[in-house]
Amino acid sequence: MQKIKVVIIGTGTDGVAVFNLLKDIKDVEIECFVELPEQSTAADFLNIDGIPVCHDLDAIKNLKNIAVVVNTVKHSLIEENLKKIEQDFSIIETRAVKLMVQLFREKKELLESKRIQGELATILNSVQEAVEVADQNGVIKYVNPAFTRVTGIQPVDRIGQNVFEISPEGALAMAIRTGKCVFGHRTKVGGSNAEVISNASPIMVDDSVEGAVVVFQHFTDVMKLMDELRQRTTMIEKLSDKFGQVTTCKYSFVDILGNNTELKKCIYVSERAARSNSTVLLLGESGTGKELFGHAIHHASSRREKPFIKVNCAAIPESLLESEFFGYAKGAFTGAVKSKIGKFELAHGGSIFLDEIGDMNLSLQGKLLRVLQEMEFEKNGGNQTIRVDVRVIAATNRNLRNLIRKGEFREDLYYRLNVVKITVPPLRVRKEDLPVLVNNLIVKLNRKLGKKVKGLTKDAIDLFYSYDWPGNVRELENVLERVMVTVDEEILTKKNFIQYVSQIKAAPERGMELVSIDQMEQVLINKALAKYGNTVEGKRRAARALNISLATLYNKLKKAKSESLSI
């Protein structure tokens, strides 16, 4: 079939609109545009489509078989000149062009409306919630596939029904009646036994209610979501608690300073023990650095990236120790409003350091033995068995064999703990390490206190060599810090330390120097605190060992502090 050839006069807005209207008609061929000099042009746009542009009406005379000339430019001279061209074509004048342009615009708007309608239908058909739409009279116009899934009602049985008749108390009817949004409305769908939770909103046009839309889910689906939410919330709370309590090791074997032969043997055994998962028992006096070895063993093991959990068995009251170890279930006792994660569960995959293991009560020793043997336990007040993978490192300054003879420590637990035994030597048997320890502590305390101490005089070092250091490295650090807090000198002398370390000499041939009762009293207090620690529980135990009240101990400590500051 021969195509209808068309010429368009004018390249302005109307000319482009006519072109867009005709270009997609398969039987129409746009032959050219006529662009007159005095008219606005869109020629650059038109050339993209490969349509030639003429600049004179006479060009039409040279075109063959032109069927239609569309004049989009209202000008009397153009209209007259077109009529003079002796060719057999129809002329569509500007008034008809306006009609064509209007038709094009309406067609374009219709296509856009269909596109939006198609997108909206795709969205509504894909959502999992049921959707229902009604007009201002309550006549149901649309339901999506999820509506049938939730209610069991087919669209053909629902569309066209009146919501005021079949579900007058539903959220959709309420939104149409009131013109207000409805949230969380629980009801049964009319014509179905499905119990749902609904949200509805009115459709407003120029402040007038033109209908409403309701979105709802089956009540059981909502309850499942709520259960899942509660489970996730509980999980997040547990993880938050766990994150807040989990610690990592701070030290490695590089931080254990000294060249003493006994100390080197301990490091050698510890490094090899770290390569296994065997339980390690660290023995030694208070302040020798057992916890430092515990950190280093974990750091050198394959568990280094996992938690390192510390528990001081002497610092936690016996009534709370079991809960600290194994946690407790929600409602296990009054005030247990949520469950608690125990130290063993926190340490899963890593290591747990049990300090002062010799002070644990017999009842808890039995439960600890089961964990070591079976690697499983139940929370306090719970009945669920929890399995863990934990490497145990225990430490104590007490003689466990003597405790076994007294019936204060379980022999089977002792053998379970005593797989790799490491006895950390006291400072008095490795005094050759004093210089390196002192220098390291001075650097550490300078950073902590903002001081610039460079070292000690020879007579101060000699004084340190003559002292037994009953509190070991912990006491050494304590003495250095007490002096560095109170003085501003860069070099510390014997005079600075005499009141802290000269009371009891290490050399047996010299015997004990005569000192005042107050000084001897302070020595005993320092020794007790070095042994039991500076925590409240440590001070309580120190007071018990010294046979004085806790209040008396605090008064004496306060007095000693004020005297040292006045020097």
| 96-114: b (≥16 Cβ within 10 Å) or e | ebeebbeebeeeeeeeeee
Say how many C-beta atoms besides its own lie within 10 A of residue 400's C-beta: 22
CATH superfamily for domain 4-106 = NAD(P)-binding Rossmann-like Domain (3.40.50.720)
Classify residue 467 by its DSSP letter.
B
Please give the CATH architecture assigned to the domain spanning 253-423: 3-Layer(aba) Sandwich (3.40)
Does residue 558 carry a pLDDT above 70?
yes
State how far the Cα of 265 lies from the Cα of 245, in Å rounded to an integer: 33
CA dihedral of residues 184, 188, 189, 191 (deg, nearest 10): -170
Does residue 245 carry a pLDDT above 60?
no
pLDDT, tens only, 320-350: 777 888 887 776 666 666 777 888 888 888 9
Q: Which residues contact 454 (CB under 8 A, 6 or more apart)?
A: 442, 490, 491
State how far the Cα of 474 lies from the Cα of 462, in Å rounded to an integer: 19
pLDDT reported for residue 139: 92
Q: Are 532 and 538 in contact (CB under 8 A)?
A: yes
Tokens read off for 392: 């145990």
Does residue 392 carry a pLDDT above 90?
yes
Please indicate whether residue 248 or residue 302 has the higher confidence score (pLDDT). Answer: 302
Min mean pLDDT across 234-238, 312-316, 418-422, 506-510 is at 506-510
State how far the Cα of 173 lies from the Cα of 132, in Å rounded to an integer: 11
pLDDT reported for residue 1: 61
Please indicate whether residue 464 or residue 195 has the higher confidence score (pLDDT). Answer: 464
Please give the biggest Cα pair distance in the chain: 143
Say what percent of the chain tops pLDDT 70.
Answer: 82
pLDDT reported for residue 424: 93
State how far the Cα of 377 lies from the Cα of 371, in Å rounded to an integer: 6
State how far the Cα of 324 lies from the Cα of 311, in Å rounded to an integer: 8
State how far the Cα of 556 lies from the Cα of 567, in Å rounded to an integer: 17
pLDDT reported for residue 391: 92
Mean pLDDT, rounded, for 9-17: 79
Q: Are 483 and 503 in contact (CB under 8 A)?
A: no
43 confidence band (pLDDT: 50, 70, 90): very low
Fold of the domain built from segment(s) 127-221: Beta-Lactamase (3.30.450)
pLDDT reported for residue 425: 93
Q: What is the mean pLDDT of the chain?
A: 81
Min mean pLDDT across 36-40, 238-242, 340-344, 473-477 is at 238-242
State how far the Cα of 468 lies from the Cα of 448, in Å rounded to an integer: 26
State how far the Cα of 12 lies from the Cα of 5, in Å rounded to an integer: 20
State how far the Cα of 150 lies from the Cα of 387, in Å rounded to an integer: 42
Does residue 507 carry a pLDDT above 60?
no
Q: Are 213 and 173 in contact (CB under 8 A)?
A: no
Mean pLDDT, rounded, for 92-107: 66
State how far the Cα of 318 lies from the Cα of 260, in Å rounded to an integer: 38
Does residue 504 carry a pLDDT above 50?
no
pLDDT reported for residue 268: 94
Min mean pLDDT across 419-428, 459-468, 515-524 is at 515-524
Min mean pLDDT across 298-312, 369-383, 471-485 is at 369-383
Classify residue 37 by its DSSP letter.
T
169 confidence band (pLDDT: 50, 70, 90): confident
Tokens read off for 421: 């035994």
Does residue 565 carry a pLDDT above 60?
no
Do the domains 4-106 and 253-423 sit in the same CATH topology, yes or no?
A: yes
Its pTM stands at 0.51
**Per DSSP, which regions of 374-489 are E strands?**
376-378, 385-387, 391-396, 420-423, 455-456
Mean pLDDT, rounded, for 1-22: 79
Residue 354, strand partner residues: 311, 394
pLDDT reported for residue 197: 83
Min mean pLDDT across 140-149, 163-172, 506-515 is at 506-515
First-to-last C-alpha distance (Å) of the chain: 119
Query: How wide is the angle at C-alpha 489 spanned by C-alphas 483 and 495, nearest 5°?
Result: 55
Write down the residue that tokens 């600290």 correspond to.
324
State how far the Cα of 302 lies from the Cα of 277, in Å rounded to an integer: 9
Tokens read off for 55: 């600049």
Q: Are 12 and 46 in contact (CB under 8 A)?
A: no
244 confidence band (pLDDT: 50, 70, 90): very low
Does residue 482 carry a pLDDT above 60?
yes
Residue boundaries of the structural domains of the chain: 4-106, 127-221, 253-423, 515-567
Q: What is the CA radius of gyration of the chain?
A: 46
Q: Which residues contact 367 (CB under 8 A, 6 or more apart)?
A: 322, 325, 326, 377
H or E segment and range at residue 564: helix 550-565
Please indicate whether residue 465 or residue 113 has the higher confidence score (pLDDT). Answer: 465
Tokens read off for 328: 């407790």
State how far the Cα of 286 lies from the Cα of 289, in Å rounded to an integer: 8
Nearest residue to 101 (alpha-carbon basis) of 172, 184, 10, 175: 10
Tokens read off for 299: 């750091």
pLDDT reported for residue 221: 65
pLDDT reported for residue 301: 92
State how far the Cα of 227 lies from the Cα of 427, in Å rounded to an integer: 59
